[in-house]
Every structure is written in structure tokens, then in C-alpha cells.
Amino acid sequence: MAKKSKSRTVAVRLISMAMTGYFRTMIRPRTHRPLSMLKYDPVVKKQVLFLEATKGGRNK
Amino acid sequence: MATPATTLASKLPPRLLSFFARYPPQLYSAAVTPKSEPQSSTKSTTTPLPETSSAIDPSTGESTLPSPYTPNRDAGGHKRPDPSAFSPSKAILATTAEHPNPFLPRKNFRTGKWIGPRVGLRVQAELVKLAAKYDIEELLPAGRKSTEFKETRRAERGLAIKGTGVGQKVKGHKWERTMETRLDDRRKAMMEMPEAIRLWKQRGHGRGWKKWPKR
């Protein structure tokens, strides 16, 4: 029996680099490079760097 | 010519004046009433030991302070403190036969019955508060409501709340215990943030980024 195919997209978690524990969840294509962006963190009330959290450190 | 005593008396409220008229400080005040023996240090600040009772050993003279933890009645080995044992706080509550302290109950040794205090606890508390306001608390007779008694008993018993004894900490919630380190981390991260953003922009907005956070 054929293996169930993986979905084209994945849901990823972008963690605030201000170490506040705040995060945003986004959907990106599975083959895309990891997401990173400047976004507003309501805890520190500033725009800070958000980086995608790796699941087991498998990001390129 | 007014003496300091009369100028003080003119300032006092009538309630205190009438009390002092009835129970003159030179006969009744805590200062002239001798404290009961043995005299040991009333304000001991040694660390309370967990497994000791509140009784004080008169032979050694050492005060073995009780645990600040509320004793568990179900636990084996817990003994109620001996009510007749000497304690510094009880030594404060002294009375003399010729001038019985109006703040303390008395025992009639002929009938064996107890007579309540001439001044009730509620009125005592009010008088102590009033006297403390005019800074003449030591002129009142010794009683359970006096600051000295309360402080001594607090030192003896500790607070019956876990963690408030000498050398102990209140455990608190986890968020309270970790708050300092978390705020430190955040502060440090925010200090490095402009540099991190500059680096991130320099490396093609994440294209060359190597240090991805772990989930």
C-alpha cells in the first residue's frame, strides 16, 4: 500500500527573539526556506525579529 | 510653673486620664510591676528549629523556639506545649497581690474560681492604641494587647505561616520564582535586538541565517 503523501504546506511557529515566549503561527510551502520576519511583539511593545522554530533542528 | 507631667496630662484624652486616675502608673504600670522569674532574653532572634517544642528549658536557660510551620495534629509525636511552662511572653503578664493588674484575670484562691480582668480585652486594645498614639504605652499595666507582649510572642512562636520564619522563604508561584531570570533574559535579548536585526538584514533577510531557535 502506498504511503500517505505529505501535505504541500506546513504550519510553522515563528518565535519572538525578545525571549518573551510570544509566537505567531504561519503556513509556508514545505520546500520553502525557513521563515523569518520583523513583527510586533506586544509584550515588549516593539517590532522585533521573529524566527521560525525548528522541530529537531532540521532547517537548512 | 507647669511640670512636664502636667503638660503631658493636659494633652491626653479624657479616657486615658480617667484610666490613669483609677490605676495610677506609679502603682500599676508595666515598668513598676516586676516580671516573673526566670528572666531570660525576651527577644530571641535565633533560627527556629523545626522539631522543637515551644517550651523553654529553665535548667539550661536556652529558648527552644518552635517551628514556624503549623504543626500537623495527625502527625505522630506532636505534643501540645505545656501551658504551665515558663515563656518570656508570659513573664510580661505579671501582677502583684496588693495591686492586681486590671488587664489580667485573677484567681480567687479561697474559692478556686477565676475572676475576669477588670478591663476587658476590647477596651484594653483601645487603651493601648490610644496610649501608643501619645507615646506613653509603658504607663499602662502589662497586658496581652501591649506591643511588647505581641512582639515577644511573635518571636517565640513565629508566624504560623510556612516560610515566614527566620532564614526561610515563601515558596510562591513558579511565575514569581522565575520572574527575575525571565525579565533578565528579556532585557538582554532586547539589548542585542538592534544588532540581531542588522545582521538579519545583512544576511539577506534570513537566507544565510544559521542560528534557528529550537521549539
DSSP code string of B67-103: PSSPPPSSSTT--PPPTTS--HHHHHS---SSS--TT
Write down the domain spans for chain B.
Answer: 12-33+88-167, 172-206
The per-residue pLDDT for B31 is 74
DSSP sequence for B24-79: -HHHHSTTTSPPPSS---SS--SPPPTT--S-B-TTT--B-PPPSSPPPSSSTT--
Q: What share of chain A is helix, strand, coil (3-state, %, to 5)?
A: 0, 50, 50
Instruction: Give the CB-side neighbour count of residue B101, counting CA atoms within 13 A.
Output: 25
* Residue A25 and residue A34 in contact, taking contact as beta carbons nearer than 8 Å: no
User: B1 touching A, CB under 8 A?
Assistant: no
The pLDDT of residue B83 is 66
**Structure-model confidence comparison of residues B158 and B196, the more confident one:** B196
> Is A23 within 8 Å of A16 (Cβ atoms)?
yes
Question: Are the beta carbons of A17 and B189 separated by less than 8 Å?
Answer: yes
Burial of B34 (0-12, 13-18, 19+ CB in 10 A): exposed
Task: State the Cα–Cα distance between residues A16 and B194, nearest whole angstrom.
Answer: 14
Is A41 an 8 Å CB contact of chain B?
A: no
Q: Is the Cβ pair B206, A18 closer than 8 Å?
A: no
Q: Quick check: A47 pLDDT over 90?
A: yes
Classify the phi-psi angles of B175: left when phi > 0, otherwise alpha if psi is within -120 to 50, otherwise beta: alpha
Check B213 against A17: CB less than 8 A apart.
Answer: yes
Q: What is the distance between the alpha carbons of residues B154 and B54, in angstroms, rounded to a whole number?
A: 12
> For A19, which of B186, B205, B206 is closest by C-beta distance?
B186
A53 in contact with B, Cβ within 8 Å: yes
State the DSSP H helix or E strand holding residue A29, giving kind and residue range, or none if neither: strand A23-29
How far apart are the CA of B171 and the nearest CA of chain A, in angstroms?
A: 24
Q: What is the dihedral of CA B18, B22, B24, B28, to 10 degrees?
A: -120
Bigger pLDDT: B108 or B56? B108
Write down the domain spans for chain A: 9-52
Neighbours of B21 (CB within 10 A): 10
The band of B109, judged by pLDDT with boundaries at 50, 70 and 90, is: confident
Contact residues on chain B for A58, CB-CB shorter than 8 A: none
Query: Is residue B203 within 8 angstroms of chain A, CB to CB?
Result: no
Query: What pLDDT digit, counting tens, does each position of B45-83 carry?
Result: 444 444 444 444 444 444 444 455 554 555 544 455 666
Rounded to whole angstroms, how far apart are CA atoms A16 and A37?
10
> Is B197 part of the contact surface with chain A (CB cutoff 8 Å)?
yes
Interface test with B, best of A35, A36, A45 (most B CBs within 10 A): A36
- AA identity, residue B186: R
The pLDDT of residue B165 is above 90: no
Report field, pTM of the whole predicted structure over 0.90: no
- Chain centroid to CA B129: how far? 16
Is this complex's ipTM strictly greater than 0.85? Answer: no
At the topology level of CATH, where does A9-52 sit?
Answer: Rubrerythrin, domain 2 (2.20.28)
Distance (Å, whole) CA B157 – CA B88: 11
> What mean pLDDT value characterizes chain B?
77
